[in-house]
Structure 1
Amino acid sequence: MKKNTIIDYLTYGSGQLINLIAPLLVVPKVISICGIENWGKIGVALSVFTLLGLFIDFGSNILGVKEVSVHKENFRIIQEYLNTSFAIKLINFFILFLGIILTSLIFNDIDKKLYLLAITLLSGQFFNISWIYQGLEKFGSINRLIFFSKIIYVLVVYLLIREKEDYFLVLFILGTSNTLVYSFFFIKIWKSYQLSLFNVKIDSVIKQFKNEYSILISNFSIAAYVQSPILIIQCLLGDYYAGIYKIGDMILNIFRSYLSVFFNVSFPKFCESYSKSKNEGILFLKKINGINISLLIFGIAVIITGGAIFINYYTIDSKIYNLLGFYSGFIIVPIITALNIPFYQYLIYKNEQKLLSKILSFGSVMMLILGYFLTLFFKLQGSLTAVFLIEALITTLIILFCIQKYKIKDI
């Protein structure tokens, strides 16, 4: 692996480490004051806005990275793409904004304060230009985005969350801190590329919309099967168990963040390598993914060994012991996800967004069906089993379709 590639992983990874530390600092504070039930409500609302935020991202977090990466030396192409992309994002933001307002007026059983204030998460998503820095491979700038937004978030949570009823402020604080910091960097990019929404052509908006909507469906499908378990649990078992699941999901998020670092750093480098030489691109995928899976297996082995020693050394209450057993099940899932990453990247480069969207849409529908019935009959363990099975199904389908169509068994 090239030295600058290693530096990029370490640089971007350090920023993602902050992303992991921030929730670990916030969660004990929120749960201790607001209770596990209200933590469950926050987790459910966050899942809802994670799904809605994808409509703001549209295809920029993948195809946008590809466009910026491939054309990084061509100012005009990037300028035109950014103008069109932000026009689509702005339209989607206002549609979602009005939709949330109307929903809060029509339905009285939703937590209005929690959901209305969480709209700031969507404004933060609009101003988030980390995908541009990712395509330009400016990972230090991404770190600054993450560092300042998360520092503000953690500090304000500790200052304002004083009573049990303050739980509705948590997502508002997160969204506001993101909006403030991201907008500062957004203005820098806006000036740097001399952007203007008045220069956007309707034809370009329609063309980019058609090109990227399949990626939106893919991303939404991924998020749907990731976020749907907590929504199903809240529906069937209530806020308390949703809170328990959310803590376990945070363990999985540690590995997701690691895989996100890997994907976000390796994808623009793969695009650049493959655009020069097919063999060079495939060789890069083989090397980088071999290292990735080896590191994952090593990390999981260390966690399992350390956990076994901890459990055997200390006398643990049976209820806590059962929870630890439940949480440990989450750490197997990332290995399955890691297996599909090189094939997923290859298919995106080949503009197979529609194929991926079909696979992922099928997976999200299966998650809703399987997750519902397994949770209904087997409670929390059923939800975890559904996550494992659907992740395995999606990975298998992506690999099989990639091998069948492009005959690239050597990735």
Structure 2
Amino acid sequence: MTKNTYKELIVNSVYLYFGQGINFILPLLVLPYLIKTLSSQSFGIYSFAFAFTQFSLLFVDFGFNISATKNIAENVLNPKKTKMTFWNVTSVKCFFMLVSLLFTFTILLSFSKFSYYKEAVLINFITVIGTILYPTWLFQGINKLKAMTIINIISKLITYPFVFIFVTNSTDFLQAIFIQSLSFLVAGLLSLIYLIKYQKFLFEGGVYNVKKHFMKNEIKDSFSIFLSNSSISLYTNSLTIFLGFFYTPNSVGIFSSMERLIRTIVFGVLAPINQAAFPIIINLKKESLPQAKDFFLKIFFFVVTLVVLVYIFIYFFNSEIINKFFHQYKNSESSIFIYFAAIIFPIAMGSVFGQLGLLGLGNELQKKIFSRIYIYIGIFSLPLSLFLIYKLDYLGAIYSMVFVEFLVFIVMGYFVKKYKFL
């Protein structure tokens, strides 16, 4: 590996860590404030809306954040190919957004149990519109991570302070949802301005070469990733949906506050290095598979070290964390967090094994295996989650999530080892 490659990784990682630091710090400021300000029922509705919207985001993204990134990174010196991918992927995402909106209306109107979540879910749909305008897959593919990070930071800094201004009593959950959703729309508008100014070739001549067979090819390329991501969502966001269906928003609030804090911590640490490393591994593999494997090994040990350090911090400062974030809950509820936090290891390493290992280093066979792992485990987790939640309330959701994340980590690790990527 050349010095320029290491320099590229370090520079991109620094920008992404800075941006992720904003993503990490602001939710850590907002989350305890919302838990303190909103009633347990309001926070449950707030959490349900975000969980429900994840299904729409999942459908609209359709795995393009990996497949389109890979496609553009492999053809970064071919402006026509990049432009064609951009417009065809964007067109597909717009169509999927309309389908998703129709589906959302149908579900909300069909189940009376979801009636008091209706306004919150519809307001949060602004997030879906924003993600279409903010093409992270394009920024990653053309290696403009600095610009992506700056846009992300500005959008958060513009919008998040309004949470503390307009969310002031226990029933202001709609205001909280609108403000946080607005950050995605602002990011989308800023990214559109950036692309028009600095990536003019994308817009010269208007919409470029959007045809049904090209759109179908984009869908086909990302379909296996979409299936795996759908399965991931089955055992993550479905837990909140099941809790909202069987129990009160209070149960949703207890589980969601812990789960969201843990995932904020994990992806605050992991996402920047994954985003920076993925296109580099793709390019290295084209030149030399051994070099790409060596790079993957270094990333693996780096992530292991980070995760261990994070858990050590949580373990020794658990009382301060519990007092700050979960002071409104019973002692038996808040103390569960320290044990639940151990899940950060399988979440982080399962992601590294899957995205950087099987997808980054692998070929079509490993891509199919990656997809099938999540599909089978996701399907298997549904009856398990339903049973545990029905019997044990929010504790059932916690037990289900811990079991499934460890299972994904073990199976991903097995195949990474089998194909000698590690």
What's the secondary structure of 1:183's corresponding residue? helix
Q: TM-score, normalised by structure 2?
A: 0.88
Asked if the contact 1:157/1:173 (under 8 Å) is kept, the reply is yes
Give how far 1:199 is off: 2.5
Identity %: 21
The correspondence for 2:253, drawn from 229, 234, 243, is: 243
Asked if the contact 1:347/1:353 (under 8 Å) is kept, the reply is yes
Give how far 1:61 is off: 0.9
The aligned runs of 1:62-101 (5 Å cut-off) are 62-101=66-105
- What is the letter of the counterpart of residue 43 of structure 2? W
1:273 aligns to 2:277 (yes or no): no
1:157 aligns to 2:163 (yes or no): yes
Asked if the contact 1:119/1:172 (under 8 Å) is kept, the reply is no
The aligned runs of 1:128-207 (5 Å cut-off) are 128-189=134-195, 192-195=200-203, 196-197=206-207, 199-207=209-217
Who is 2:46 aligned against? 42
Aligned counterparts of 1:339 and 1:371: Cα–Cα separation in 2: 22
Who is 1:262 aligned against? 273
Asked if the contact 1:25/1:154 (under 8 Å) is kept, the reply is no
Residues 194 and 298 of structure 1: is their aligned pair in 2 closer, same or farther, counting only changes over 3 Å? closer
Who is 1:287 aligned against? 298
The aligned runs of 1:290-369 (5 Å cut-off) are 290-307=301-318, 320-344=330-354, 345-349=356-360, 350-351=363-364, 352-369=366-383
Q: How big is the alpha-carbon RMSD for the aligned residues of Structure 1 and Structure 2? A: 2.7
Give how far 1:187 is off: 4.0
Asked if the contact 1:121/1:172 (under 8 Å) is kept, the reply is no
Residues 16 and 342 of structure 1: is their aligned pair in 2 closer, same or farther, counting only changes over 3 Å? closer
1:125 aligns to 2:131 (yes or no): yes
- What is the letter of the counterpart of residue 347 of structure 1? L
Asked if the contact 1:114/1:169 (under 8 Å) is kept, the reply is no
Who is 1:384 aligned against? 398
Residues 156 and 388 of structure 1: is their aligned pair in 2 closer, same or farther, counting only changes over 3 Å? same
Aligned counterparts of 2:104 and 2:233: Cα–Cα separation in 1: 19
- Runs of 5+ consecutive residues of structure 1 not aligned to the other structure: none
Asked if the contact 1:118/1:175 (under 8 Å) is kept, the reply is yes
Aligned counterparts of 1:228 and 1:45: Cα–Cα separation in 2: 12
Residues 280 and 334 of structure 1: is their aligned pair in 2 closer, same or farther, counting only changes over 3 Å? same
Who is 2:11 aligned against? 7
What's the secondary structure of 2:24's corresponding residue? helix
- What is the letter of the counterpart of residue 364 of structure 1? G
Give how far 1:77 is off: 1.5
Give how far 1:158 is off: 2.5
Q: TM-score, normalised by structure 1?
A: 0.90
Aligned counterparts of 2:328 and 2:134: Cα–Cα separation in 1: 44
Aligned counterparts of 1:284 and 1:212: Cα–Cα separation in 2: 25
Task: Choose 332-341 or 102-111, whichever is displaced more.
Answer: 102-111
What's the secondary structure of 1:199's corresponding residue? coil
Give how far 1:272 is off: 1.3
Asked if the contact 1:84/1:204 (under 8 Å) is kept, the reply is yes
Who is 1:16 aligned against? 20
Aligned counterparts of 1:42 and 1:318: Cα–Cα separation in 2: 17
- What is the letter of the counterpart of residue 207 of structure 2? L
Aligned length: 406
Asked if the contact 1:366/1:390 (under 8 Å) is kept, the reply is no
- Runs of 5+ consecutive residues of structure 2 not aligned to the other structure: none
Structure 1 residue ranges (4+ consecutive) displaced by more than 6 angstroms after TM superposition: 316-319
- What is the letter of the counterpart of residue 79 of structure 2? F
Asked if the contact 1:256/1:334 (under 8 Å) is kept, the reply is no
Aligned counterparts of 2:147 and 2:19: Cα–Cα separation in 1: 10
Task: Choose 113-122 or 281-290, whichever is displaced more.
Answer: 113-122
- What is the letter of the counterpart of residue 53 of structure 1? L
- What is the letter of the counterpart of residue 134 of structure 1? Q
